[in-house]
Structure 1
Amino acid sequence: MSFVMRTARADDLQTLYELAKQTGGGFTNLPADRKALEEKLVRTELALAREGGEVEDELILMVLENCTTGQVRGTCQIFSKVGQSWPFYSYRLGVLTQHSRELSRTFRAEMLSLVTDLEGSTEVGGLFLHPRERAEGLGLLLARSRYLYIRNHRERFGERVIAELRGVIDEAGGSPFWDGLAGRFFGMTFQEADEFNAIHGNQFIADLMPKTPIYIAMLNEGARAVIGLPHPNGRAAMRMLETEGFTNPGYVDIFDGGPTMVGQINSLQTIAHAQDVTLGSIHDDGGEKHLIACGQRAEFRCTYGLVKRASNEGVSLDRESAERLAIEPGQSFTMVPRA
């Protein structure tokens, strides 16, 4: 496998744009808009250039590169602290219980409340892998490389991390959730709202959305049926998040109703089980498959490698992965088992 994760550069704009056009819509963090993508690359460059250790509102855009061809075949993003430039809105699922003594009946009404509970969290998102590369664990490499980046720059992130999963989108590119709820207040289609949010932010939600809780029973059947469900293509991603240590506490996206997963950074499996080691030697065959990473900020790289436990002088790494990370014996790197 000749793939490596690295931080994005300005010259990745065209390939990111080509990837964005293949998402099928609903990927707010990866819009098919050159200007919006260029702004993300500028934000990434500024974040990678900053040397301080404080938590700030920053974006790290990463790409998956085929080292043989030089092609970018996937991407993902880390937002260090959401809700700083504009409010970070979610719907929270809740239940209101009421009892009628005269009827001798108890009513439990499910409700959606507009909240900003998740402000200040780190967010991982924008993960997209080219359809022709969805094999050999590359999706796992995309996802877990973000956690290794966070671990190796721990002082620049908080305690909580979230991941918004795309909700159900119909064949026409519309959202049953949007059509049944928010679309009634905004006079625009889901695609229009999604594109506007990707470029301008979601302050228009605060300006126009009613602040009172929404009774789910009052929504149409199509909207009710998809609340909290991921897009069919996102079910595997949801399972990966659950394996990593994320939970689903009942927050849903205000646009498409997809679930927002929540985790504690230090408890994520990748971060909790990763360790820093010294490269003692390089071998040409065998070994146990690990995710391996090295480098700070713009020099960060992550790939799969075959590791052998060696003597007290360090571990042994296969030659190809050592070359992909550009490390030599005596240098240190981070590793965590693939499984």
Structure 2
Amino acid sequence: MTYRLRAAKPGDLEHLYEMAKLTGGGFTNLPADRAALTRKLERAQKAFDRKDDAIGDDQFVLILENTETGEVRGTCQLMTMVGQQWPFYSYRLNTLTQHSQELDRTVRAELLSLVTDLEGSSEVGGLFLHPAARAGGLGLLLARSRYLFVAMHRKRFADRILAELRGVIDDRGGSPFWDGVAGRFFGMNFQEADYFNAINGNQFIADLMPKHPVYVAMLNSEARKVIGVPHPTGRAAMRMLENEGFAAEGYVDIFDGGPTMTARTDQVKSIREAKAAAITSTTLEKGEKALIATGRLDAFRCCYGLREFGEDGSISIDANAAETLGVGIGDEVWSVAR
């Protein structure tokens, strides 16, 4: 079976909705709400339609489809500049050191401070792979195709990029972090807050959240031990981000305490190593395994394939990749080693 990434269309609403129902909560970028998903697709369409290269408040949605059956089996998103519609809040985990001369004692306390440090960054997020398709490297194709999209539209993205990983969710669908921190101030459980945030944004956090730092030592043990810890299903995603050059720098999600990974955009491995080249052959049978992409904005497509560079900088690709992408001799493709 052959899969490719493409731009999402308004007709993908039901595909997204069916996948959203499988996320299990804590997945703000893919709410199981048709109206919210419709707005997301409309916003993505506006982003794809805007032809100038200036950075703006855009959101792109990509779809993973089986080219043989037309089945949609995954999705991912890119946000070009977070914190424009409403503040982009994070908790920053830092340390306060205090010393008493009388007691000859130094005390170090960990604090969670509500910050908007990451406003203006780009974000990769919203990645979901259907449970029936979690094999064959499709998760890697979903994740890394976003970096090729960034490389191909570099001027539309910021110099810093982030990725939020879902935090620990318990068997009841609740969040130990939310229950121990923010839930005390809002009078709603995690599912209610998470859903409200996905549909309406997080301005309610600014309205009601205390602005003073939270001393970690004063939280219950269940909340403390999940700070900066990804959901078990997100550990592989965290390793992939680390392999790309992202790092956890003390920022955690205000809802579930999951880690926010950051990197300099131009230092992300798949962006830094992406190469553009014109095709001189589409009959390659042996070559380097790669992600190969073509097309601007709503014409973007990406798939796995084989590549080989010529001495003149041109590229040869295999017939299957050429057919999947709809490209031929003379067309330009971008690629990065798999």
User: What SS does structure 1 have at the residue aligned with 2:271?
Assistant: helix
What runs of 5+ residues in structure 1 fail to find an aligned partner?
Answer: none
Match of 2:242 in 1: 242
Structure 2 alignment gaps of length 5 or more: none
Matches within 5 A, 1:77-116: 77-116=77-116
Equivalent-residue separation in structure 2 for 1:200 and 1:274 (angstroms): 36
User: What is aligned with 1:297?
Assistant: 297
Give the TM-score of the pair, scaled to structure 1.
0.98
Deviations along 1:280-301, whole A, 9 cap, x unmatched?
Answer: 1121632221000010010001
Q: Is the 8 A contact 1:127 1:143 kept in 2?
A: yes
> Counterpart of 2:325 in structure 1: which amino acid?
L
Partner amino acid for 2:118?
Answer: L
Displacement of 1:170 in angstroms is 0.3
- For 1:256 and 1:263, the matched residues in 2 are separated by 21
Q: Which residue of 2 aligns with 1:225?
A: 225
Are the aligned partners of 2:284 and 2:306 in contact in 1 as well (CA < 8 Å)? no
The equivalent residue for 1:128 is: 128
**For residues 153 and 284 of structure 2, what CA distance do their matches in structure 1 show?**
31
Q: Tell me if the contact between 2:64 and 2:142 (Cα under 8 Å) persists in the aligned partners.
A: yes
User: Can you list the C-alpha shifts for 1:252-309, whole angstroms capped at 9, x where unaligned?
Assistant: 0000000000011111100111111111112163222100001001000111011134
Superimposed CA distance per residue, residues 68-119 of structure 1 (whole angstroms, 9 cap, x where no aligned partner): 1101100000011000110000000011111111211110000000000000
Equivalences for 1:1-339 in 2 at 5 Å? 1-283=1-283, 285-310=285-310, 312=312, 314-338=314-338
For 2:316 and 2:53, the matched residues in 1 are separated by 32
Deviations 1:34-82 (A, max 9, x none): 0010000000100111111111111100010100110110000001100
Q: What residue identity is the alignment partner of 1:141? A: L
Q: SS of the residue aligned with 1:119? A: coil
User: Match for 2:291: what amino acid?
Assistant: L
Q: Report deviation, 1:313.
A: 7.8
Note the C-alpha offset of 1:317: 1.1
Q: Residues 280 and 313 of structure 1 are in contact (CA less than 8 Å); yes or no, is this contact kept in structure 2?
A: no
For residues 313 and 144 of structure 1, the distance between their equivalents in structure 2, rounded to whole angstroms, comes to: 23
- How far the C-alpha of 1:132 sits from its partner, in A, is 1.5
Per the TM alignment, residue 314 of structure 1 is displaced from its structure 2 partner at its CA by 2.6
**How far apart are the structure 2 equivalents of 1:82 and 1:282?**
39
User: 1 CA distance for matches of 2:68 and 2:101?
Assistant: 73
Taking the aligned partners of 2:177 and 2:294, their CA distance within structure 1 comes to: 42
Q: Aligned residue pairs: how many?
A: 338
Percent of paired sites with the same residue: 61
2:82 and 2:47 map into 1 onto residues whose CA distance is 14
Separation in 2, partners of 1:315, 1:93: 46
Which stretch of structure 1 is more off in the superposition, 102-111 or 186-195? Answer: 102-111
Shift of 1:311: 5.7
Partner SS state of residue 64, structure 2: strand
Please tell me whether the aligned partners of residues 290 and 304 of structure 2 are also in contact (alpha carbons under 8 angstroms): yes
Deviation sequence 1:205-263 (CA, Å, 0-9, x none):
00000000000011011000100000000000000000001011100000000000001
